[in-house]
Chains A and B, each alone.
Chain A
Amino acid sequence: QKEVEQNSGPLSVPEGAIASLNCTYSDRGSQSFFWYRQYSGKSPELIMFIYSNGDKEDGRFTAQLNKASQYVSLLIRDSQPSDSATYLCAVRGNTDKLIFGTGTRLQVFP
């Protein structure tokens, strides 16, 4: 079992729709959770992070964490073609290193 699992996609949504990206992790001791966006040929950029169970909103983005189910998700409201990218989920355990999933490719079509 991989430490951080994501569906590779592609996830295709129409412009204006809500995109839902999901991630599961295996280490119950994981403490913090991160979502990164990566455009093709570019390096990852941090979207947001979450530490506590529940929802955290930042603009069009909402991260959701359920530690009991070892599940974290990212919702993107009013999706735009410019949101088309690979979204990486990352998890931090007891050390400082982040463990990344393989990413989900999102395609937003006009």
Chain B
Amino acid sequence: DTGVSQNPRHKITKRGQNVTFRCDPISEHNRLYWYRQTLGQGPEFLTYFQNEAQLEKSRLLSDRFSAERPKGSFSTLEIQRTEQGDSAMYLCASSPAIGGYTFGSGTRLTVV
């Protein structure tokens, strides 16, 4: 098992463009989470899936953000019409039913 994989590692985009990130979780984990982290802060919850079902979405998440996990395996996070405030590290994690998360290496988004 190679752990949680995220692509791309870095993304620079112009304000107003759409971006999509991909996460491949650990294969035997049925729970998948997306977090966002900015400098000096802890990871902030965005959304999570159990299998293909999106069970919770943060109230802080605007309608510009959408996440999918179509077959209960990999997941994508899309940000439409990016803003400079979206610049952050986007972290994906997966977990079994009991225990802690395993995080991927993250995707660092810079909106210019």
Contact = CB atoms under 8 A, between A and B. Distances in A.
A25 interface: no
Nearest to A97: B45
B41 A44 contact: no
A96 B43 CA distance: 15
Contacts of B95: 96
A95 B55 contact: yes
Contacts of B50: 96
B48 interface: yes
Contacts of B99: 49
Given A96-B56, A102-B42, 15 more contacts: A34-B100, A36-B100, A44-B43, A44-B91, A45-B103, A46-B102, A88-B42, A90-B42, A95-B55, A96-B31, A96-B50, A97-B33, A97-B48, A98-B45, A102-B40
Nearest to B108: A41
A95 B42 contact: no
Contacts of B103: 43-45
Contact of A46 (B43, B89, B101, B105): B101
A42 B106 CA distance: 8
Interface residues on B, range: 20 to 34
Given A43-B105, A44-B103, A46-B101, A96 B48 contact: yes
B104 interface: yes
A45 B4 CA distance: 12
A99 B100 contact: no
Interface in A80-105: 88, 90, 95-103
A88 B100 contact: no
B100 A43 contact: no
Nearest to B35: A100
Contacts of A99: 45
Nearest to B46: A97
A43 B55 contact: no
21 contacts: A4-B42, A43-B91, A43-B103, A43-B104, A43-B105, A43-B106, A49-B99, A88-B42, A96-B31, A96-B33, A97-B33, A97-B45, A97-B56, A98-B33, A98-B43, A98-B100, A100-B35, A100-B42, A100-B43, A100-B44, A103-B41
